[in-house]
A = this chain, B = another copy of it.
Amino acid sequence: MTEVNSTRLIEYFAEHVPISDEEKEIIRNSHELRHVKKKGLLFEQGSHCTLEAFVLSGSFRIFHTDSKGNEHVLYFAFPDWWIGDIASFYSGEPAGLNAQALEESIVLTINPDTKEVLFNKIPKLERIFRIITQKHLTVVQKRLLLSYSASAADRYHELLERSPGIEQLVPQHQIASYLGILPESLSRMKKQLMRSKGNSF
């Protein structure tokens, strides 16, 4: 079972660099299969985040709860995505993020020590994670700049372009949270957009 499900992760790595059979075995043995129930938490703010997870099936929201108790979605994760709290994972500090399953989900997890061993055994994996992290960084940088320069409506359109079909996958109030606005505001915004779009016919 585990072997079967690790297959997707191996394929994923192999898309970046060639992986030998021996290395595949090492990768398989470094990860653990884990089921997460709907609304189940993979890691939690305040506790040490001791895992990074590769999503095999299902979906997650990674969010932060601020001092006023409000939740802010940092990103959503779907199959082939990695989730984790990098700062906590590598430093041992308490996590600043939560990862919650939006539905019944299956992931492959790895802990910090095992990941370090894995990097030592297969150094070329460092390259893959460098590239993944760079891609993630460019997206977050773009979102930061948009949060300064663009209206909520513009950010909404940017999200829809970058993640088509997102509206069918996550409830609207969580999209609002991702955009940094309240559900009420998104609801009003959509009404406005419908009106101006509708009028143009």
Could you list which residues of chain A lie within 8 angstroms of chain B, going by C-beta atoms? 64, 66, 68, 70, 72, 74, 86-87, 90, 96, 119, 123-124, 126-127, 129-130, 133-134, 136-138, 140-145, 147-150, 180
Which residue of B is nearest A149, CB measured? B66
Residues of B within 8 Å of A96, CB to CB, are: 142
Residues of B within 8 Å of A86, CB to CB, are: 134, 137-138
Contact present for B144 and A74 (CB under 8 Å): yes
Residues of B within 8 Å of A134, CB to CB, are: 86, 90, 133
Contact present for A126 and B130 (CB under 8 Å): yes
Q: With A127-B119, A127-B126, A133-B133 known to touch, is A144 a contact of B144 (CB < 8 Å)? A: yes
A124 to B171, CA, bound (A): 43
Contact present for B66 and A141 (CB under 8 Å): no
Contact present for A144 and B142 (CB under 8 Å): no
Residues of B within 8 Å of A124, CB to CB, are: 123, 126
Q: Top 7 nearest A-B pairs by Cβ distance?
A: A148-B180, A130-B130, A66-B149, A126-B126, A133-B133, A87-B138, A147-B147
Could you list 29 A-B pairs, sorted by A, with CB under 8 Å? A64-B145, A64-B149, A66-B150, A70-B149, A72-B145, A72-B148, A72-B149, A74-B144, A74-B145, A86-B134, A90-B134, A123-B123, A123-B126, A123-B127, A124-B126, A126-B126, A126-B127, A126-B130, A127-B130, A129-B130, A130-B133, A133-B134, A137-B137, A137-B140, A140-B140, A143-B144, A147-B147, A147-B148, A147-B180
Residues of B within 8 Å of A119, CB to CB, are: 127
Contact present for A141 and B138 (CB under 8 Å): no
CB distance from A69 to the nearest CB of B (A): 10
